[in-house]
Structure 1
Amino acid sequence: MSTPPPPSPSVPSSPPAASLLDGLRFAFGTLTVLPVRLTRWDRSAARTGMLCAPLAGAVVGLCAAALGGLLLLLGAGPLLAAVASAAVPALLTRGLHLDGLADTADGLGSAKSAATALDIMKQSDIGPFGVITLLLTLLAQVAVYAQLYADGWAHGALAALVAGVAARLALTLASREGVPAARPEGLGAAVAGVVPVRGAVVAALAVTLLCAAAGLALGPFAMLHHAVAVAAGLGAAQLLLGHCVRRFGGVTGDVFGALAEAAATTALVVLALG
């Protein structure tokens, strides 16, 4: 009788692919404060979630547009509506994107080594570079919204939608394959490199076309204008991303916040032109 072969070593099974619902939970659970229960925290869920990130941005943008429109309906002027529309994204993210913008500005402005700059970004206080960057960013956003709301609620509302979508789409692109994490822990490490390049490109094209279609409500020129605004926002975020990767060695949660604010603000400024 032959001796039976030894049992083969057990191989741990990989987790099942994340569903669309898992991805939506990941996107809304990490990118907003909306009451969504995060059920999975793995690479597969992160991949689907970052592809769904523009949907979370659309909800944030619609909330900003709704509050701005409500204030206008109640008799407020364009400036107050503008402040409200700029405040809603901050409230729906607990200010994390603005905090990331300030921390990234302090890290980049420190002129220190990558390790020291990352330590500076982890500190709870905000330095002069962060304060100046926050101030100018929020002033620019409010100024654009005030200008557009003065032209009518639809102009400001579409701008809020485009800004919200462009901000989160920039995060989708920053999560693509080939972009490393600067730290082994945190949100940056959880989502760095999870999105296939092809998926990121398809998402960028689809979202840009949808924003252009939304702009068509204001006329053919507005359709092109909104598409250019999204493209410009993504371009600004990609430039900042490249600089942060060279400076810090990769991305962090703070860098993601800075990318979102850079994309949103650039898109808004482009909408204010012309």
Structure 2
Amino acid sequence: MTPDLPIDRYAIDGLEEGLLGADIGAELTTSLIDRIEARVRDERITSMDRLTEVLRDETRALIPQRQASTIEIARAKPFVILVVGVNGTGKTTTIAKLAARHVADRRRARVGLVMADTLRVGAREQLGAYARLLDVPMEVARDGGELRAALARFADRDAVYVDTAGLGGDPDEAAAVDAMLGAAEEPIARAAVVSAGASERALHAAWRQFDRLGPASCIVTKVDEGASLGTACTWLRERQLALAWLGTGQRVPDDLAIPSGSALVRWLVAA
């Protein structure tokens, strides 16, 4: 550590302790602190308020982020996104939040839901309840052919969200989802859902399932349940998987946050 900083050394040390305490790991903490110190020197930062702003900026820069853009939706109509996740991550509720936000954010947007989870008891009923609440149609697909037919019926929709069976430890489960996608013969975006409270070991196990499905982005749920985002953010960075949304509770659609710098710092350091 170099002592020639225009701000109190203890301020930087406090940030470092907070980041390490948030379980983001030594490597990511070192990267953040190095970048923050460089900006403190270059910009001659002397106030804690400005230091906090820099922490937000650099945290956001180190963790790739991505939401489905208006351009993507305009290019592919319907814009189809399939959501995968291990059991218990809140995947179906997250889909309801995404669909509700899509309807609210884009006036006259037409959204469809597809339930491709035929294994979990009550899965169809849960998504069906959300479909009625949002006043959007829902289809059920048990295989690739039915998924292809459902997407054909939703050809006039702006966006279609596809729910899938929760993945456990059996690699055949991911293989079945992959086979369904191949048989659907449609361009389908993929997003993974993980819980903020998942351990490093659980996240690596989840990736063994997700990898063959090729998700481009990730939604981290249950950040309101007291767990730090540190472990999940470190995992995202290792996998170069973009963080799309944060699930911050059960309310549809309110408890879905864009991972801004301030939101990331709040859930990283203040947890």
TM > 0.5: no
- Select the structure that is richer in helix: 1
Q: TM-score range by the shorter chain?
A: under 0.3
- Structure (1 or 2) with the greater strand fraction: 2
